[in-house]
Structure 1
Amino acid sequence: MTRRAIALLLAVGMAAAGCTTAEPAGTDASSGSAPRTGSVAGAEAPAVDPGVLPTVEREPGTLRLAEGLPPPTNRWFSGLVFGDEAQPVFPLPLAVGLTASGFAYGLPEVRADGTLVAGAYAPQVEIDLGEGVTGVVTGYDAATVSVDLVAGDESVRGTLHLTRGSPVVRYTARAAHPVGLSRAFGVDAGAGLPEGTATTDVDGRDHVLTGVAGTDVGAALDEAGTTLELDAGESVAWLVAPDAAEGAETLGDLVEAASDPVEASTVGYATDPDAVTTSVGYATASGGPAVVVRFPHQRDVADDATCGLGTYATVLGTVDVCLGSELSWRSTARDPVVGLDLSGIDGSAREELVDQVAADAERVLDETRPADTYFGGKALARDANLWTLARDLGLDDVAADLRQSLLTDLRLWTDPDGCTERPERCFTWEPTLRTVVGQATSFGSEEGNDHHFHYGYFLYAAGVLAADDAALAEEVAPVVDLLAADVAAAADVPADDGPPIPALRTLDVVMGHSWASGPSPFGDGNNQESASEAVSAWHGLALWADARAAAGLEDRGLTAQARWMLSLEAASARAYWTDFDRSDPAAEGLEADVTSLVWDGKRERATWFSAEQSAALGIVVLPVTGASAYLGDDPERVRDNLAEALGTDDLWAQESAWDVMFGDQLLMYAGLLGPDDAASALEVARELPAERVDDGSTRSWMLAWLHQQAA
């Protein structure tokens, strides 16, 4: 019997509901485009085989998804596919929702107040197809999504097309039918707009309706301007006018471009020692420029798009309107780091570290590491760091004991047959969601939640331990490579039992950061809290890529890809979580220096797990590693963020101020202020209560990090 034939009955909360995949008459092929999921241009799929793991099938209910597509977990539009009812989604700057008989869109009103920036979905124009329909996702890639609107007889009424980062919504009729509009649109050829367009005023802003590929809106609209008569194959698009556009002529240029629809997107990247460049290409029907926006994290421009054509307020900040076939931008290059630099530490500082490492090693070796994928992975990464300290301090016996303990657990976790023998500390293949699920599960990982957080710790531990051990890298590669492919494959990974493992499952390339929720059952879109753990995931991926390369294993571009993802996520983590522009008009009224929970429809200083103010900063700092220097690019912002988290501007006036949740992480963050503050942090760190040391770290690591910063 093959591993794939093994069905395990594990206590992992598998749902009892039946699972079906929607099979509308109109699949992606009938919508005029090939199936797509968003591979990086020219990337090779990793050579992995999900069949090495035993299968545990989860039944999440009906998926509103065309047959043959991998379920899009961890995407900005996941809420369209999962759950009893489709959730609103935020292509941005617009928000879109499906209705019982069609769809609606609106430009969110962005308001900042206290610790929240909100831009909720509020429909402004509703499109009624005249009968009940269900939305079924029939194709997607890095920046585009196609949704067939399927009637009760399973015929496709039409297709809704959305583009990430575009103020345009497009609809294509698949059969001749009237389209009802909740607002009257009037044709006005004298408004400086292309002939055959129509407009309506919504709260003082023009919404423009234009034909696509020859569709004449003027001829299709009835006299009242509330009904469009569309023939099969005809398309129309809605464009919401931006703020501060340079007159009607500029708006006319945008409308003309909106009539040349975006059909697909492409992703590319380049790396050099100082910067990585990310490119998102927009392929239109006629090859013309697309109407897109440039987000705050994209402002180090590396393209020739025409921008300055207006602005929109979004929860991420003010975005600039552009016309172009590609948006490219640069992010500061970040490199992986194994361990810490102890070369400048000697004398009493070295003696302090030797004693603390010995004490911490004795403690962790006397404990059993947790069995679930989150806390179990954190413990492996924690002890891998402790091992590097013991090794670099010359504690050979301590290092040997730590390494042996780590290898025992790493081999347990990476045994492909592990879940045939035990219910935890092992991985399975879940064929419905096309994902790897660790046992025991935690934080909804069986639904796809937080996989990059969890697996990043395993990648990190494997990368550190196998850095100089080719035999170990080769031994654990079958499972560790699967973990990497699950969250970060650069190209779709073929699988014998169905659709592929999708490319870049968690990374939203346009936004430059990842999404944490698998099904995204929320009215504000998807979300990510611990941006620092996302950065850590790609740091782990980079360390694992280096270890594989050193072992002579086939690279397939992984070393460059990991550095790109690490650099891209670090830039967005600062742009939206820790170092965002407080002077942006969209943030006026915000009284928080950190927004620790970022959604498409809001940003807030809040966490899922604690109301403590220190938690909001700590969760976007941990885990502190050798690559965490990116958090300190603006020392004055570090100081402001700490003052907010601790409730005091005088960071060192009272040691008790640090006796808070994530006190150790905040002390290490304070080390980025410079040598003097790092020395002050050391004084506090020595006496910090043990319960304030995070379970993914040790006092040894905290002291060593601060000694490095103070040296």
Structure 2
Amino acid sequence: MQAITGNAFPTVVNTAIPDPPPFFAQNLPTRPLPTNAAWQNFVLKKADQPEYIHPYLVQSKHGALTVCYPARAVNTAFIFQAFVANFIISCGPSGSHKLTHFDDLSVTLELPGPLMVPLVRGSPYITCIVKGGHLKFSTIHAVLDVSSFNDCTKHKIQFNNGQTWLLYSSAPLKLNSDLSVSGEFLGVLRLALLSDKVNQVADKKERVLDRFSTCYPISAHVDLTTPFRISYKWKTRGWGDLLMLSHSVHRQIMTVPGHDKVISEFSYRSMDGDLVAIVGDSWVLEETPIPINWYSIKGFQSHNEMQTVVSALKKDVADLNPIKTTSSYFYGKAIARAARLALIAEETHCHSLIPHIRDFLQQSITPWLDGTFEGNGFLYDDKWGGLISRNGAQDSGADFGLGVYNDHHYHFGYFCYAIAVLGKLDHNWARRFKPQVYSIVKDFMTVNPGEGVVYPRLRNFDLWKLHSWAGGLTEFADGRNQESTSEALNAYYSAALLGLVYGDTDLIGIGSTMAALEMRSAKAWWHVPLNSTVYESEFVQENRIMSILWANKRDSGLWFAPAQWRECRLGIQLLPILPITELLFSDVGYVKELVEWTVPALSREGVGEGWKGFVYALESLYDKDSALQKIKALKGHDDGNSLTNLLWWIYTRGTDDSDCSCSYSMKESSRYCS
């Protein structure tokens, strides 16, 4: 990304959120700090809520580390993993932990003792580095048996809940039948679940765990220097090869390792499907490149269809009025809606309409960048290190929690889209406000934090899960969460468009890479086709799309609507409708299942016209004529959408055998704008 460091907005005292709690160790940088990390609960409030470090739930409380291999509760409304104190480890007095290290794939806690715990996501073992002291083990279960092997460096522990655990130690450990420990211990412990009542096939699993117990990861790094290529590298200690677990999206794009590197029969269940073992301290993931287009991929197919879009476009442009809301989210949607009209005007060669839209965008966006917007504005919070709104700095509920770092990629994604379009239309304006523009996009798109950089690395994007989180600095028992993957996709797509405007190849590359990964994860975990094997059939039968995906839960209810409002569930995973949307919903068979599942909800009294429009937009992928009639009959549209955009969407889908060469030419279309 181009070398613009620092922040171009004034600093504000953020009273909506307290100073960072005292859980960060002194050796860590004071600013900027992560605000949507997978381990965020470890530094919020009392820092005693568990986090899901696949495949275990892990809690740090009162100086003890509690490990849980969770059982799964499933019904038609949600899938949930309950935290149970399966195995408790401590080595000192009661007290709080310190977070001494964090990176892309791990976090390290120091508990009293001291007890160092590098929690590396996807490790089948929990590793504890004991600096010396009296170890204490306990459980809420009855201990049925403790067996010791290899001169007391391996112990097999059976509980009455059906679980069997293996405990490895780098030095002899005298473990008694009640889990008490005789004498002091100095060394490394590795704890792993061998089996539970769901999976009793343990012989081969035990041999694998024995083999790889001597090499443990302590940190990791993800390299993103090459577009669409993600390289994992773990730093290890001990000896031998490293064993890690991969989820399904990893395996979809992982460069094929040798047959001796994949242990397909060694797996753990997780909230995200089976975690399969991979041998090696480095992985390479190769995502399929995606195009970043300003316009539709296939273009218009006929004169008459383009004329219909032009007629709607003229009316929508004429109806552009000053934006009344001061909400950063809804304001962003409004300017992005206008920006869509500008690009559709370009695609239909209606150049005479563009100056009016350009002026509207300039008048609407500039006050947010030069500090003259009345009622709100963007400011820099140096407590955590990020861009927030003036209203969000005073009220944790304002702007949907922007001041507590909720939904940053959503809000700023809409602004980035509108700014990119305006910058495309007015290069002088883009150059004038480049520092402010880069402050906005770098809030959630910084890749290489360093000296002079005031935003954390990829604020929202999770480089292990390969999608974003939106929850910000709010403590949740189920960890981070995200509702709208399509708005996350919009953010990264829009960042790539900004890269096109400024000739920033790094921003184009990282934006398009994040967009491709977000889209792949949405299809894997948010889209729920009838033949899904990721989730249990009981949940799949009643849900065609996820509402909120949590680290430790899957939910059919939305933040703003119940599960029965299926049109909202569909719409929030579709909006805003953009050229890249056709890649997100490329599986027409699944789209038909989703629409047919949603349509009965439209007969409910009070269904919003805007939400109907999103349902009909997807219906058009397999029944264009039916969807078109319904869209033309709508009495209103979502505040980020328009009749012009819906008609553009329908008329640029093409046919199965069409390509860009058969699209109606831009030159011919210009006569419709006379």
> So what's the TM-score if we normalise by structure 1?
0.82
In the alignment, does 2:339 pair up with 1:339? no
In the alignment, does 2:68 pair up with 1:95? no
Helix, strand or coil at the partner of 1:406: helix
Residues 111 and 586 of structure 1 are in contact (CA less than 8 Å); yes or no, is this contact kept in structure 2?
no
Task: Note the C-alpha offset of 1:194.
Answer: 9.6
Match for residue 536 of structure 1 among 490, 494, 507: 490
Residues 137 and 179 of structure 2 are in contact (CA less than 8 Å); yes or no, is this contact kept in structure 1?
no
- Alignment deviations for residues 122-156 of structure 1 (CA, whole Å, 9 cap, x no partner): 22111233521112212111111011224xxxxx6
Residues 9 and 378 of structure 2 are in contact (CA less than 8 Å); yes or no, is this contact kept in structure 1?
no
Match for residue 507 of structure 2 among 537, 553, 558: 558
Residues 72 and 505 of structure 1 are in contact (CA less than 8 Å); yes or no, is this contact kept in structure 2?
yes
Task: Note the C-alpha offset of 1:346.
Answer: 4.3
Give the aligned residue type for 1:296: S
Match for residue 167 of structure 2 among 209, 221, 232: 209
Give the aligned residue type for 1:48: T
Distance in 1 between residues matched to 2:608 and 2:366, nearest whole Å:
37
Structure 2 residue runs of 5 or longer lacking an equivalent are 393-398, 656-674
In the alignment, does 2:656 pair up with 1:708? no
In the alignment, does 2:632 pair up with 1:683? no
Structure 1 residue runs of 5 or longer lacking an equivalent are 1-43, 151-155
Distance 1:224 1:107, change over 3 A: closer
Distance in 1 between residues matched to 2:419 and 2:80, nearest whole Å:
40
Which residue in the other structure is 1:488 paired with?
445
In the alignment, does 2:110 pair up with 1:188? no
In the alignment, does 2:298 pair up with 1:327? no
- Alignment deviations for residues 568-604 of structure 1 (CA, whole Å, 9 cap, x no partner): 1110011000146844275232131211210111112
Distance in 2 between residues matched to 1:296 and 1:51, nearest whole Å:
41
Distance in 1 between residues matched to 2:271 and 2:146, nearest whole Å:
31
Residues 4 and 435 of structure 2 are in contact (CA less than 8 Å); yes or no, is this contact kept in structure 1?
no
Which residue in the other structure is 1:125 paired with?
87
Helix, strand or coil at the partner of 1:589: helix
Match for residue 299 of structure 1 among 239, 251, 255: 251
Which residue in the other structure is 1:567 paired with?
516
Match for residue 352 of structure 1 among 308, 311, 317: 308
Distance 1:85 1:321, change over 3 A: same
Distance in 1 between residues matched to 2:183 and 2:443, nearest whole Å:
45
Distance in 2 between residues matched to 1:617 and 1:312, nearest whole Å:
31
Which residue in the other structure is 1:159 paired with?
116
Residues 63 and 95 of structure 2 are in contact (CA less than 8 Å); yes or no, is this contact kept in structure 1?
yes
Task: Note the C-alpha offset of 1:544.
Answer: 0.6
In the alignment, does 2:30 pair up with 1:73? no
Alignment of 1:519-668 (within 5 A): 519-549=473-503, 555=505, 557-579=506-528, 582-584=531-533, 586-590=535-539, 591=541, 592-611=543-562, 612-647=565-600, 662-668=611-617
Distance in 2 between residues matched to 1:678 and 1:440, nearest whole Å:
43
Alignment of 1:3-402 (within 5 A): 46-50=3-7, 52-58=9-15, 59-61=17-19, 62-67=21-26, 68-69=28-29, 70-150=32-112, 157-182=114-139, 186-189=146-149, 196-202=153-159, 203-211=161-169, 215-216=170-171, 218-222=172-176, 224-227=178-181, 229-231=183-185, 234-241=187-194, 248-269=203-224, 276-286=228-238, 288-300=240-252, 301-304=254-257, 305-340=261-296, 343-364=299-320, 366-402=321-357
Residues 493 and 503 of structure 1 are in contact (CA less than 8 Å); yes or no, is this contact kept in structure 2?
no
Alignment coverage as a number of residue pairs: 630
After the TM superposition, which of the residue ranges 394-403 and 484-493 deviates more from structure 2? 394-403
- Alignment deviations for residues 240-292 of structure 1 (CA, whole Å, 9 cap, x no partner): 126769753542332442332211112134767xxx34332222114643332
Task: Note the C-alpha offset of 1:539.
Answer: 0.3
Which residue in the other structure is 1:463 paired with?
420
Residues 266 and 276 of structure 2 are in contact (CA less than 8 Å); yes or no, is this contact kept in structure 1?
yes
Give the aligned residue type for 1:327: W
Distance in 2 between residues matched to 1:615 and 1:462, nearest whole Å:
27
Helix, strand or coil at the partner of 1:235: strand
Distance in 2 between residues matched to 1:587 and 1:228, nearest whole Å:
45
Residues 8 and 436 of structure 2 are in contact (CA less than 8 Å); yes or no, is this contact kept in structure 1?
no
Two-structure CA RMSD over aligned residues (Å)? 2.8
Distance 1:376 1:599, change over 3 A: same
Give the aligned residue type for 2:381: E
Distance in 2 between residues matched to 1:271 and 1:495, nearest whole Å:
24
Task: Note the C-alpha offset of 1:379.
Answer: 1.1
Give the aligned residue type for 1:494: E
Residues 254 and 323 of structure 1 are in contact (CA less than 8 Å); yes or no, is this contact kept in structure 2?
no
Give the aligned residue type for 1:65: F
Give the aligned residue type for 1:510: W
Distance in 2 between residues matched to 1:219 and 1:698, nearest whole Å:
68
Distance in 1 between residues matched to 2:22 and 2:618, nearest whole Å:
43
- Alignment deviations for residues 500-540 of structure 1 (CA, whole Å, 9 cap, x no partner): 52211211111110110112411111100001111111000
After the TM superposition, which of the residue ranges 54-63 and 329-338 deviates more from structure 2? 54-63
Task: Note the C-alpha offset of 1:102.
Answer: 0.6
Give the aligned residue type for 1:329: L
Distance 1:279 1:481, change over 3 A: same
Distance 1:569 1:579, change over 3 A: same
Distance in 1 between residues matched to 2:463 and 2:616, nearest whole Å:
32
> So what's the TM-score if we normalise by structure 2?
0.87
Distance in 1 between residues matched to 2:534 and 2:300, nearest whole Å:
45
Query: What percent identity do the matched residue pairs reach?
Result: 21
Distance in 1 between residues matched to 2:77 and 2:599, nearest whole Å:
16
Distance 1:374 1:255, change over 3 A: farther
Residues 425 and 438 of structure 1 are in contact (CA less than 8 Å); yes or no, is this contact kept in structure 2?
yes
Which residue in the other structure is 1:153 paired with?
none
Distance 1:129 1:135, change over 3 A: same
Which residue in the other structure is 1:435 paired with?
386
Helix, strand or coil at the partner of 1:492: coil
Distance 1:100 1:372, change over 3 A: same
Task: Note the C-alpha offset of 1:629.
Answer: 1.3
After the TM superposition, which of the residue ranges 288-297 and 454-463 deviates more from structure 2? 288-297
Distance 1:664 1:621, change over 3 A: same
